């Protein structure tokens, strides 16, 4: 399963059993660069709606078998489709019936024969309202995530660090050196993971507020990857994981080095968390068809298909414990996706539960 950057053009789903209406509506909307999908009856619309995921539905009231009211009722009863705005298509003689449609959750109606100016104005208004609502929901989720990290993900490790320091201070000289060494190693691991979280949090906050600068330059991909792997060699050795480069492409590419450094480090750290002792992580590069791909492949626990889209969602922030009890905030992967997309690239995920995962960074070879 892949995570893709979505096309920004709104997709309008037209449901009408009259071919002429479909043709007229399609022509009007396409002239304004809307993407179009069609269904010729209510049953077909309900069967295809989840595959289409439209921004707005133009729904005819009078259709055989399932009329527009029943289709709207079922759409609003489904958690996956309830937030898609519905505009009824109705003859003037049916306007009184449209009151029923509003009670079922429709947002507007357009009368037949269609007036292009009126239709486009209503479509534009409700597409913009939907996107504004989604943006607001995303901002609320971002705020909630930020405070959640501060309240829990940062508070917890600082409490652990404080407890370790108190323990060492209280019993120093009274317990064997080996136990002190173990406590110090645990203290180091906790402080390292907390620093990683703080780095991600600061970068993410800068990204959300628009204060982060995008400064692309020519960077040698091979050297950049080798440097990042060198920084994580000790962590891999401690967990007895083989960390290997497989660099078919080592040349230069125009990127923001700090951003892509962070992406590579986060993906490798993530792979280390979810790969058991004795496993293998390979960082590979290749150049094909104007694209440079950097992939981080592991033999770890894998990811269930339904969980993959949630990895990059602020609203569905995922935090899973690693194979050695490592903790994470779920922020790293969200930040990776944002930084890759700033380069007009894609972050693609493929995974099988119990077999491992592959995170592929696909960047334009000629720069963004």
- CATH number reported for the structural domain that contains residue 282 in this entry: 3.30.565.10
The overall average pLDDT reported for the chain is 83
**Last residue within a domain, chosen from 114, 147, 181:** 114
pTM over 0.75: no
Same domain, 276 and 177: no
Cis peptide before 237 (omega within 30 of 0): no
- CATH number reported for the structural domain that contains residue 160 in this entry: 1.10.287.130
Same domain, 151 and 183: yes
- Mean pLDDT, rounded, for 218-240: 90
Percent of the chain with pLDDT over 70: 83
Same domain, 69 and 188: no
109-126 burial, b at 16+ Cβ within 10 Å, e below that, comes to bbbbebeeeebbebbeeb
The Cα 317–Cα 312 span in angstroms is: 8
**Last residue within a domain, chosen from 186, 212, 238:** 212
- Provide the domain limits for residue 153: 139-212
Q: Is residue 102 part of a domain?
A: yes
Q: Is the pLDDT of residue 358 over 70?
A: yes
Same domain, 83 and 184: no
Q: Is residue 301 part of a domain?
A: yes
Same domain, 43 and 105: yes
What is the DSSP-derived secondary structure letter of residue 326?
Answer: -
Domain count, the chain: 3
- CATH number reported for the structural domain that contains residue 89 in this entry: 3.40.50.2300
Q: Is residue 222 part of a domain?
A: yes
Same domain, 344 and 265: yes
- Mean pLDDT, rounded, for 157-181: 79
Number of residues written out for the chain? 368
44, 90 Cβ separation under 8 angstroms:
no
Q: Is the pLDDT of residue 6 over 50?
A: no
* pLDDT score at 7: 38
Least confident of 39-48, 97-106, 255-264, 271-280: 97-106
Q: Is residue 120 part of a domain?
A: no
Q: Is residue 367 part of a domain?
A: yes
3-class state of residue 10 by DSSP? coil
**Last residue within a domain, chosen from 187, 212, 237:** 212
**Site of tokens 């609203």:** 315
* pLDDT score at 346: 93
356 bridge partner residues: 352
Same domain, 77 and 165: no
pLDDT band at 55 (very low <50, low <70, confident <90, very high): very high
Same domain, 324 and 290: yes
């Amino acid at each position: 399963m892949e995570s893709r950057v979505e096309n920004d053009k709104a997709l309008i789903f037209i449901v009408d059993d009259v071919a002429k209406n479909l043709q007229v509506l399609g022509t009007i909307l396409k002239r304004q660069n809307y993407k179009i999908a069609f269904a010729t009856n209510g049953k077909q619309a309900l069967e295809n709606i989840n595959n289409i995921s439209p921004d707005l539905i133009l729904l005819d009231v009078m259709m055989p078998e399932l009329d527009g009211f029943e289709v709207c009722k079922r759409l609003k009863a489904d958690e996956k489709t309830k937030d898609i705005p519905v505009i009824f298509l109705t003859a003037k003689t049916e306007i009184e019936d449209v009151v029923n449609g509003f009670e079922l959750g429709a947002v507007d109606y357009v009368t037949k024969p269609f007036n292009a100016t009126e239709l486009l104005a209503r479509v534009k208004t409700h597409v913009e309202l939907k996107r504004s609502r989604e943006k607001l929901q995303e901002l609320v989720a971002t705020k909630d995530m930020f405070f959640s990290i501060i309240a829990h993900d940062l508070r917890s490790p600082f409490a652990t660090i404080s407890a370790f320091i108190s323990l060492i201070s209280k019993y120093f000289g009274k317990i064997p050196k080996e136990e002190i060494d173990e406590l110090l190693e645990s203290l180091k691991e906790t402080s390292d993971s907390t620093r990683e979280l703080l780095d991600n949090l600061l970068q993410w906050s800068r990204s959300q507020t628009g204060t982060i600068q995008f400064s692309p330059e020519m960077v040698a991909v091979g050297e950049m990857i080798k440097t990042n792997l060198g920084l994580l060699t000790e962590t891999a050795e401690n967990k007895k994981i083989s960390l290997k480069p497989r660099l078919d492409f080592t040349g230069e590419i125009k990127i923001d080095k700090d951003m892509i450094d962070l992406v590579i480090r986060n993906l490798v750290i993530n792979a280390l968390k979810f790969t058991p002792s004795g496993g293998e992580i390979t960082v590979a590069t290749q150049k094909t068809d104007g694209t440079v791909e950097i992939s981080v492949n592991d033999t770890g626990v894998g990811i269930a298909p339904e969980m993959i889209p949630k990895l990059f969602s602020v609203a569905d922030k995922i935090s899973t414990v690693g194979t050695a009890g490592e903790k994470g905030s779920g922020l790293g992967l969200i930040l990776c996706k944002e930084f890759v997309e700033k380069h007009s690239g894609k972050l693609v995920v493929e995974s099988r539960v119990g077999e491992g995962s592959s995170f592929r960074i696909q960047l334009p070879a000629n720069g963004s």
